[in-house]
Amino acid sequence: MSNNKKFVVDANFIREAYNLNLSLIEFLLLLYFDNADDLTFDLDKISQKLKISTNDILFAFNNLISKKLITMVSEKNEVGKRYDKVLLEGFYKSLEEDMRKEKNQNIKEDIFTKFEKEFKRPLAGMEIEIIKAWSEKMYDESLILRALEEAIYNGATNIRYIDTILYEWSKKGYKTREDVENGLKKPYENKKLEETSIIDFNWLDDYDK
């Protein structure tokens, strides 16, 4: 990485560093290695690039290791010489986990809004906990919303009724909205096949026999 190359950082990276309560130097070190083409730990090179003393860099680097946000492994180059390589898997894993939690939170809020809209009332605390349990442990969001539609179609605005629907669908192996739709088509297709068989049957030939 040349000394005049600018760092590139996105909002999620900055927010994660803030959530982890990292110091400025710890943040800059992570940013340095996130942008680096060469992940070799070269203390003098890092110090020159960041304009930070080697002692401060070492202190921040050790903090990141103790927080399990980075690791350093020893590898060999093309000529067999060993060098220390820095890996940011711990930080990336933390970032990915927080982004997943945020996404799930947005999904849950969207689900709650749809339930309240269909029920035409605010959800009770127990109802919210049951919906959370559905989305966190068992059922795909599309399946939950399809069960809600099924309940409303049958005139039921009851969480327990929807829970029964989801339980019955899970026994049939339904995991998504698409599974339900495909499952509901089968009885109709079988009935259509039976009707076709009756129409296509040659009654005169059978009578002649």
* Mean local confidence (pLDDT), 136-156: 89
CATH number for the domain that contains residue 174: 1.10.10.630
CA distance 197 to 179: 27
Encode pLDDT of 109-145 as tens digits: 688 889 999 999 999 999 999 998 888 777 888 899 9
Output the pTM of the full model.
0.49
In a domain, 50, yes or no: yes
Is residue 191 situated within a structural domain?
no
Same domain as 175, residue 108: yes
Flag whether pLDDT at 195 surpasses 50: no
Report whether pLDDT(198) > 60.
no
In the prediction, which pLDDT does 100 show?
A: 76
Do 107 and 82 have their domain in common? no
Q: How far apart are CA 32 and CA 9, in angstroms?
A: 10
Last residue of a domain, one of 28, 56, 87: 87
Tokens found for residue 60: 């921040």
What pLDDT is recorded for position 208? Answer: 47
**Which residues are CB-neighbours of 3 under 8 A, at least 6 positions away?**
48, 49
Q: Taking a C-beta distance cutoff of 8 angstroms, is the pair 29, 61 a contact?
A: yes
Helical H segments across 10-138, by residue range: 11-19, 24-35, 43-50, 54-66, 89-119, 125-133
Which domain covers residue 176, as residue numbers?
A: 100-183
Domain count, the chain: 2
Domain stops at, among 87, 118, 135: 87
